[in-house]
Amino acid sequence: MKAVHFGAGNIGRGFIGAILQQSGYDVTFIDVNAELINRLNQDRQYEVVLADETKESFTVTGVSGINSQENSEAAAAAVADATIVTASVGPGVLPFIAPVIAKGLAARPEGAAINVIACENMIGGSDKLKSEVEKHLSKKEAEHVFAQSGFPNSAVDRIVPIQKHDNPLKIEVERYFEWVIETKDLRGEHPALEGAIFVDDLVPFIERKLLTVNTGHASIAYNGLLMGYQTVKEAMGDQRVVDLLKGVLHETSLFLTDKFGFDQEDHQEYVRKIIERYQNPYISDGLDRVGRAPLRKLSAGDRLTYPAVELNKNGIEPVNLERTIAAALHFDLQDDPEAVELQGWIREYGVAAAYEKASGVAVSSEMNLRIKDYYETAR
Protein backbone atom coordinates (compact mmCIF):
# COMPACT_ATOMS: atom_id res chain seq x y z
CA MET A 1 0.00 0.00 0.00
CA LYS A 2 1.22 3.47 -0.87
CA ALA A 3 0.40 6.66 1.04
CA VAL A 4 1.14 10.17 -0.12
CA HIS A 5 1.25 12.78 2.63
CA PHE A 6 1.45 16.50 1.90
CA GLY A 7 3.45 18.25 4.62
CA ALA A 8 6.69 16.85 6.05
CA GLY A 9 6.52 19.06 9.14
CA ASN A 10 6.10 18.06 12.78
CA ILE A 11 2.48 16.87 12.53
CA GLY A 12 3.16 15.15 9.21
CA ARG A 13 6.10 13.14 10.52
CA GLY A 14 5.13 12.79 14.18
CA PHE A 15 1.45 12.00 13.77
CA ILE A 16 -0.04 11.21 10.36
CA GLY A 17 3.07 9.80 8.69
CA ALA A 18 3.80 7.59 11.69
CA ILE A 19 0.23 6.24 11.76
CA LEU A 20 0.33 5.55 8.01
CA GLN A 21 3.58 3.61 8.33
CA GLN A 22 2.30 1.65 11.34
CA SER A 23 -0.79 0.81 9.27
CA GLY A 24 1.33 -0.85 6.58
CA TYR A 25 1.84 1.94 4.05
CA ASP A 26 5.03 3.07 2.38
CA VAL A 27 4.87 6.83 2.87
CA THR A 28 5.94 9.48 0.38
CA PHE A 29 6.07 12.97 1.87
CA ILE A 30 5.47 15.90 -0.45
CA ASP A 31 6.78 19.28 0.67
CA VAL A 32 8.67 22.36 -0.52
CA ASN A 33 11.22 22.20 2.31
CA ALA A 34 14.32 21.02 0.44
CA GLU A 35 16.26 20.16 3.61
CA LEU A 36 13.56 17.82 4.93
CA ILE A 37 12.90 16.19 1.55
CA ASN A 38 16.60 15.61 0.85
CA ARG A 39 17.11 14.12 4.31
CA LEU A 40 14.07 11.84 3.92
CA ASN A 41 15.47 10.52 0.64
CA GLN A 42 18.91 10.09 2.19
CA ASP A 43 17.88 8.33 5.42
CA ARG A 44 14.63 6.63 4.29
CA GLN A 45 13.61 6.63 7.94
CA TYR A 46 13.25 8.86 11.01
CA GLU A 47 12.91 8.55 14.78
CA VAL A 48 9.77 9.37 16.77
CA VAL A 49 10.17 9.87 20.54
CA LEU A 50 7.21 9.85 22.93
CA ALA A 51 7.17 12.95 25.13
CA ASP A 52 6.80 11.35 28.55
CA GLU A 53 9.00 9.92 31.29
CA THR A 54 9.65 6.72 29.29
CA LYS A 55 11.17 8.55 26.28
CA GLU A 56 10.12 5.46 24.33
CA SER A 57 11.02 5.73 20.66
CA PHE A 58 10.36 3.95 17.39
CA THR A 59 11.63 4.26 13.84
CA VAL A 60 9.37 5.10 10.93
CA THR A 61 10.84 3.27 7.93
CA GLY A 62 10.04 3.00 4.23
CA VAL A 63 9.68 6.75 3.72
CA SER A 64 10.68 8.99 0.84
CA GLY A 65 10.12 12.56 -0.24
CA ILE A 66 9.29 14.68 -3.28
CA ASN A 67 9.91 18.41 -3.54
CA SER A 68 6.73 19.57 -5.27
CA GLN A 69 8.24 22.96 -6.03
CA GLU A 70 11.04 21.38 -8.04
CA ASN A 71 9.23 18.32 -9.34
CA SER A 72 5.46 18.76 -9.51
CA GLU A 73 5.20 16.05 -12.19
CA ALA A 74 6.64 13.43 -9.83
CA ALA A 75 4.34 14.63 -7.05
CA ALA A 76 1.27 14.29 -9.29
CA ALA A 77 2.45 10.84 -10.42
CA ALA A 78 2.73 9.75 -6.78
CA VAL A 79 -0.89 10.83 -6.19
CA ALA A 80 -1.97 8.95 -9.31
CA ASP A 81 -0.35 5.76 -7.94
CA ALA A 82 -1.37 6.14 -4.28
CA THR A 83 -3.68 4.04 -2.10
CA ILE A 84 -4.49 7.04 0.12
CA VAL A 85 -3.64 10.76 0.17
CA THR A 86 -3.44 12.83 3.36
CA ALA A 87 -2.39 16.39 4.15
CA SER A 88 -1.26 18.45 7.15
CA VAL A 89 0.03 21.67 5.62
CA GLY A 90 -2.03 24.32 7.42
CA PRO A 91 -5.42 25.61 6.21
CA GLY A 92 -3.87 28.47 4.26
CA VAL A 93 -1.67 26.14 2.20
CA LEU A 94 -4.47 23.85 0.95
CA PRO A 95 -5.01 25.95 -2.22
CA PHE A 96 -1.32 25.55 -3.10
CA ILE A 97 -1.30 21.73 -2.98
CA ALA A 98 -4.61 21.44 -4.87
CA PRO A 99 -3.16 21.66 -8.44
CA VAL A 100 -0.83 18.69 -7.88
CA ILE A 101 -3.60 16.64 -6.26
CA ALA A 102 -6.01 17.50 -9.09
CA LYS A 103 -3.51 16.44 -11.74
CA GLY A 104 -2.76 13.18 -9.95
CA LEU A 105 -6.41 12.27 -9.35
CA ALA A 106 -7.33 13.05 -12.96
CA ALA A 107 -4.64 10.62 -14.14
CA ARG A 108 -5.99 7.69 -12.11
CA PRO A 109 -7.67 4.91 -14.11
CA GLU A 110 -11.43 4.40 -14.06
CA GLY A 111 -12.57 2.60 -10.92
CA ALA A 112 -9.43 3.34 -8.88
CA ALA A 113 -11.16 4.52 -5.70
CA ILE A 114 -9.12 6.67 -3.32
CA ASN A 115 -9.66 8.88 -0.28
CA VAL A 116 -8.03 12.27 0.22
CA ILE A 117 -8.06 13.38 3.87
CA ALA A 118 -7.09 16.84 5.09
CA CYS A 119 -5.76 16.55 8.66
CA GLU A 120 -5.97 20.21 9.62
CA ASN A 121 -7.00 22.11 12.73
CA MET A 122 -10.12 23.44 11.02
CA ILE A 123 -13.75 22.50 10.42
CA GLY A 124 -14.41 21.05 6.95
CA GLY A 125 -10.76 20.75 5.93
CA SER A 126 -11.36 18.06 3.32
CA ASP A 127 -14.38 19.96 1.96
CA LYS A 128 -12.10 22.97 1.52
CA LEU A 129 -9.43 20.90 -0.22
CA LYS A 130 -12.04 19.33 -2.51
CA SER A 131 -13.33 22.74 -3.57
CA GLU A 132 -9.76 23.88 -4.30
CA VAL A 133 -9.03 20.72 -6.32
CA GLU A 134 -12.20 21.25 -8.36
CA LYS A 135 -10.89 24.64 -9.53
CA HIS A 136 -8.13 22.83 -11.44
CA LEU A 137 -10.34 20.28 -13.23
CA SER A 138 -12.43 20.50 -16.37
CA LYS A 139 -16.07 19.47 -16.05
CA LYS A 140 -15.29 16.07 -17.57
CA GLU A 141 -12.27 15.57 -15.32
CA ALA A 142 -14.29 16.56 -12.25
CA GLU A 143 -16.95 13.94 -13.03
CA HIS A 144 -14.24 11.27 -13.34
CA VAL A 145 -12.33 12.39 -10.24
CA PHE A 146 -15.21 12.86 -7.81
CA ALA A 147 -16.93 9.63 -8.85
CA GLN A 148 -14.04 7.68 -7.36
CA SER A 149 -12.24 10.10 -5.04
CA GLY A 150 -13.62 10.69 -1.55
CA PHE A 151 -12.76 13.73 0.55
CA PRO A 152 -13.89 12.72 4.05
CA ASN A 153 -13.55 15.38 6.73
CA SER A 154 -11.49 14.55 9.79
CA ALA A 155 -10.56 15.91 13.20
CA VAL A 156 -7.05 15.42 14.57
CA ASP A 157 -5.55 15.93 18.00
CA ARG A 158 -1.96 15.38 19.10
CA ILE A 159 0.38 17.80 20.84
CA VAL A 160 3.81 18.23 19.28
CA PRO A 161 5.94 20.36 21.63
CA ILE A 162 8.31 23.05 20.35
CA GLN A 163 11.67 21.33 19.80
CA LYS A 164 14.99 21.35 17.97
CA HIS A 165 17.21 18.35 17.18
CA ASP A 166 20.53 17.83 15.39
CA ASN A 167 18.71 15.50 13.00
CA PRO A 168 15.90 17.61 11.48
CA LEU A 169 13.76 14.50 10.92
CA LYS A 170 13.70 13.43 14.58
CA ILE A 171 10.40 14.34 16.21
CA GLU A 172 8.99 14.21 19.74
CA VAL A 173 5.23 13.83 20.23
CA GLU A 174 2.86 13.06 23.07
CA ARG A 175 1.67 9.47 23.38
CA TYR A 176 -2.01 10.46 23.13
CA PHE A 177 -3.61 11.02 19.76
CA GLU A 178 -7.08 11.13 18.24
CA TRP A 179 -7.90 10.91 14.53
CA VAL A 180 -11.64 10.90 13.80
CA ILE A 181 -12.80 10.46 10.19
CA GLU A 182 -16.31 11.07 8.86
CA THR A 183 -17.65 8.22 6.73
CA LYS A 184 -20.18 10.09 4.58
CA ASP A 185 -17.77 10.94 1.74
CA LEU A 186 -15.56 7.85 1.89
CA ARG A 187 -14.97 5.86 -1.31
CA GLY A 188 -14.57 2.10 -1.10
CA GLU A 189 -13.83 0.36 2.19
CA HIS A 190 -12.61 2.19 5.27
CA PRO A 191 -8.89 2.81 4.77
CA ALA A 192 -6.57 0.84 7.03
CA LEU A 193 -5.51 3.41 9.62
CA GLU A 194 -4.22 2.20 12.99
CA GLY A 195 -6.15 3.83 15.85
CA ALA A 196 -8.39 6.01 13.67
CA ILE A 197 -12.08 6.28 14.58
CA PHE A 198 -14.72 6.32 11.82
CA VAL A 199 -18.00 8.13 12.58
CA ASP A 200 -21.15 9.06 10.65
CA ASP A 201 -21.17 12.65 11.93
CA LEU A 202 -17.99 14.54 12.78
CA VAL A 203 -19.64 17.62 14.33
CA PRO A 204 -20.00 16.20 17.88
CA PHE A 205 -16.32 15.24 17.91
CA ILE A 206 -15.18 18.62 16.56
CA GLU A 207 -17.20 20.43 19.25
CA ARG A 208 -16.02 18.00 21.94
CA LYS A 209 -12.39 18.78 21.06
CA LEU A 210 -13.01 22.54 20.75
CA LEU A 211 -14.85 22.77 24.07
CA THR A 212 -12.54 20.44 25.99
CA VAL A 213 -9.01 20.58 24.57
CA ASN A 214 -9.10 24.16 23.28
CA THR A 215 -11.28 25.61 26.03
CA GLY A 216 -9.15 23.89 28.66
CA HIS A 217 -5.94 25.20 27.13
CA ALA A 218 -7.38 28.73 27.08
CA SER A 219 -8.41 28.42 30.73
CA ILE A 220 -4.88 27.48 31.77
CA ALA A 221 -3.34 30.26 29.67
CA TYR A 222 -5.52 33.20 30.65
CA ASN A 223 -5.92 32.30 34.33
CA GLY A 224 -2.27 31.26 34.61
CA LEU A 225 -1.03 34.54 33.12
CA LEU A 226 -3.26 36.50 35.48
CA MET A 227 -1.56 34.67 38.37
CA GLY A 228 1.91 35.47 37.06
CA TYR A 229 2.94 32.21 35.38
CA GLN A 230 4.69 31.82 32.03
CA THR A 231 4.27 28.16 31.08
CA VAL A 232 1.57 25.50 31.22
CA LYS A 233 3.81 23.44 33.52
CA GLU A 234 4.14 26.32 36.01
CA ALA A 235 0.44 27.16 35.90
CA MET A 236 -0.64 23.55 36.43
CA GLY A 237 1.43 23.51 39.62
CA ASP A 238 -1.04 26.00 41.16
CA GLN A 239 -4.18 24.35 42.52
CA ARG A 240 -6.20 27.52 41.79
CA VAL A 241 -5.49 27.13 38.06
CA VAL A 242 -6.31 23.41 38.21
CA ASP A 243 -9.58 24.05 40.07
CA LEU A 244 -10.64 26.68 37.52
CA LEU A 245 -9.73 24.28 34.70
CA LYS A 246 -11.80 21.48 36.23
CA GLY A 247 -14.68 23.90 36.77
CA VAL A 248 -14.54 25.10 33.17
CA LEU A 249 -14.50 21.55 31.82
CA HIS A 250 -17.36 20.55 34.11
CA GLU A 251 -19.40 23.37 32.58
CA THR A 252 -18.53 22.50 28.98
CA SER A 253 -19.29 18.85 29.79
CA LEU A 254 -22.81 19.82 30.88
CA PHE A 255 -23.34 21.49 27.51
CA LEU A 256 -21.75 18.74 25.40
CA THR A 257 -23.51 15.80 27.03
CA ASP A 258 -26.83 17.62 26.79
CA LYS A 259 -26.39 18.66 23.14
CA PHE A 260 -24.87 15.48 21.72
CA GLY A 261 -25.88 12.78 24.18
CA PHE A 262 -22.33 11.66 24.96
CA ASP A 263 -22.23 8.90 27.56
CA GLN A 264 -21.48 10.60 30.90
CA GLU A 265 -18.82 8.10 32.02
CA ASP A 266 -17.11 8.01 28.62
CA HIS A 267 -17.02 11.78 28.47
CA GLN A 268 -15.62 12.12 31.98
CA GLU A 269 -12.87 9.67 31.02
CA TYR A 270 -12.13 11.85 27.97
CA VAL A 271 -11.92 14.95 30.20
CA ARG A 272 -9.64 13.11 32.63
CA LYS A 273 -7.26 12.22 29.79
CA ILE A 274 -7.22 15.82 28.55
CA ILE A 275 -6.32 17.15 32.02
CA GLU A 276 -3.62 14.47 32.27
CA ARG A 277 -2.14 15.76 29.00
CA TYR A 278 -1.92 19.30 30.40
CA GLN A 279 -0.08 17.91 33.42
CA ASN A 280 2.58 16.25 31.25
CA PRO A 281 5.77 18.27 31.95
CA TYR A 282 7.33 17.04 28.71
CA ILE A 283 4.86 18.94 26.51
CA SER A 284 4.71 22.23 28.39
CA ASP A 285 4.01 25.31 26.29
CA GLY A 286 4.31 29.05 26.81
CA LEU A 287 1.12 30.69 28.08
CA ASP A 288 1.65 33.70 25.82
CA ARG A 289 1.64 31.40 22.78
CA VAL A 290 -1.45 29.49 23.95
CA GLY A 291 -3.31 32.74 24.66
CA ARG A 292 -2.54 34.44 21.34
CA ALA A 293 -5.40 35.73 19.14
CA PRO A 294 -7.79 36.60 22.01
CA LEU A 295 -10.38 38.21 19.71
CA ARG A 296 -10.83 34.93 17.83
CA LYS A 297 -10.93 32.97 21.07
CA LEU A 298 -13.54 35.33 22.56
CA SER A 299 -15.70 35.36 19.41
CA ALA A 300 -19.28 34.10 19.34
CA GLY A 301 -18.66 30.61 17.97
CA ASP A 302 -15.40 29.86 19.69
CA ARG A 303 -14.16 28.05 22.79
CA LEU A 304 -15.18 30.46 25.58
CA THR A 305 -18.16 32.59 24.61
CA TYR A 306 -20.04 29.87 22.71
CA PRO A 307 -20.46 27.40 25.61
CA ALA A 308 -21.00 30.22 28.13
CA VAL A 309 -23.83 31.74 26.08
CA GLU A 310 -25.48 28.35 25.50
CA LEU A 311 -25.34 27.44 29.19
CA ASN A 312 -26.85 30.81 30.12
CA LYS A 313 -29.70 30.11 27.68
CA ASN A 314 -30.31 26.86 29.58
CA GLY A 315 -30.47 28.66 32.91
CA ILE A 316 -26.98 27.64 34.03
CA GLU A 317 -24.58 30.33 35.22
CA PRO A 318 -21.11 29.17 34.09
CA VAL A 319 -19.02 30.89 36.75
CA ASN A 320 -15.71 29.34 35.72
CA LEU A 321 -16.13 30.09 32.02
CA GLU A 322 -17.12 33.66 32.80
CA ARG A 323 -14.09 34.10 35.08
CA THR A 324 -11.90 32.75 32.30
CA ILE A 325 -13.44 35.19 29.80
CA ALA A 326 -12.65 37.99 32.26
CA ALA A 327 -9.06 36.73 32.49
CA ALA A 328 -8.85 36.65 28.67
CA LEU A 329 -9.87 40.31 28.58
CA HIS A 330 -6.70 41.05 30.58
CA PHE A 331 -4.50 39.40 27.91
CA ASP A 332 -1.97 42.02 26.86
CA LEU A 333 0.83 40.96 24.53
CA GLN A 334 2.52 43.65 22.48
CA ASP A 335 3.56 41.40 19.59
CA ASP A 336 0.04 39.98 19.17
CA PRO A 337 -2.08 42.30 16.97
CA GLU A 338 -5.36 40.95 18.39
CA ALA A 339 -4.24 41.54 21.97
CA VAL A 340 -3.18 45.09 21.09
CA GLU A 341 -6.55 45.71 19.42
CA LEU A 342 -8.48 44.25 22.36
CA GLN A 343 -6.66 46.41 24.90
CA GLY A 344 -7.26 49.45 22.69
CA TRP A 345 -11.00 48.74 22.71
CA ILE A 346 -11.00 48.37 26.50
CA ARG A 347 -9.25 51.72 26.92
CA GLU A 348 -11.58 53.43 24.44
CA TYR A 349 -14.96 51.84 25.20
CA GLY A 350 -14.62 50.10 28.57
CA VAL A 351 -14.43 46.37 29.21
CA ALA A 352 -18.15 45.53 28.78
CA ALA A 353 -18.40 47.27 25.40
CA ALA A 354 -15.09 45.77 24.30
CA TYR A 355 -16.36 42.28 25.14
CA GLU A 356 -19.61 42.96 23.27
CA LYS A 357 -17.56 44.07 20.25
CA ALA A 358 -15.51 40.86 20.40
CA SER A 359 -18.31 38.41 21.16
CA GLY A 360 -21.69 39.92 20.36
CA VAL A 361 -22.80 39.49 23.99
CA ALA A 362 -24.81 42.62 24.81
CA VAL A 363 -23.40 45.10 27.32
CA SER A 364 -26.73 45.03 29.16
CA SER A 365 -26.85 41.23 29.52
CA GLU A 366 -26.39 39.66 32.94
CA MET A 367 -23.55 37.55 31.56
CA ASN A 368 -21.60 40.58 30.37
CA LEU A 369 -22.23 42.42 33.64
CA ARG A 370 -20.89 39.47 35.65
CA ILE A 371 -17.81 39.24 33.40
CA LYS A 372 -17.19 42.97 33.95
CA ASP A 373 -17.33 42.41 37.72
CA TYR A 374 -14.92 39.46 37.49
CA TYR A 375 -12.59 41.54 35.30
CA GLU A 376 -12.49 44.40 37.80
CA THR A 377 -12.06 42.07 40.77
CA ALA A 378 -9.11 40.37 39.07
CA ARG A 379 -7.19 43.61 38.50
Q: Which residues contact 219 (CB under 8 A, 6 or more apart)?
A: 241, 244, 245, 248, 249, 320, 324
Question: What domains can you pick out in the chain, each with its CATH number?
Answer: 2-201 (3.40.50.720), 204-378 (1.10.1040.10)
pLDDT in tens, 87-111: 999 999 999 999 999 999 999 999 9
Q: Using a cut of 0.95, tell me whether the model's pTM lies above it.
A: no
Give the start-end residues of each E strand in the chain.
Answer: 2-6, 26-31, 45-50, 57-61, 63-67, 84-87, 114-118, 149-150, 154-157, 171-173, 178-182, 197-199
**What SS3 state is found at 54?**
coil
The residue-averaged pLDDT of 15-25 equals: 98
pLDDT at 122 exceeding the cut of 90? no
C-alpha pair distances (Å), 186 with each of 135, 145, 190, 253: 21, 13, 7, 30
pLDDT in tens, 330-346: 999 999 999 999 999 99
pLDDT in tens, 237-252: 999 999 999 999 999 9
What one-character DSSP code corresponds to residue 191? P
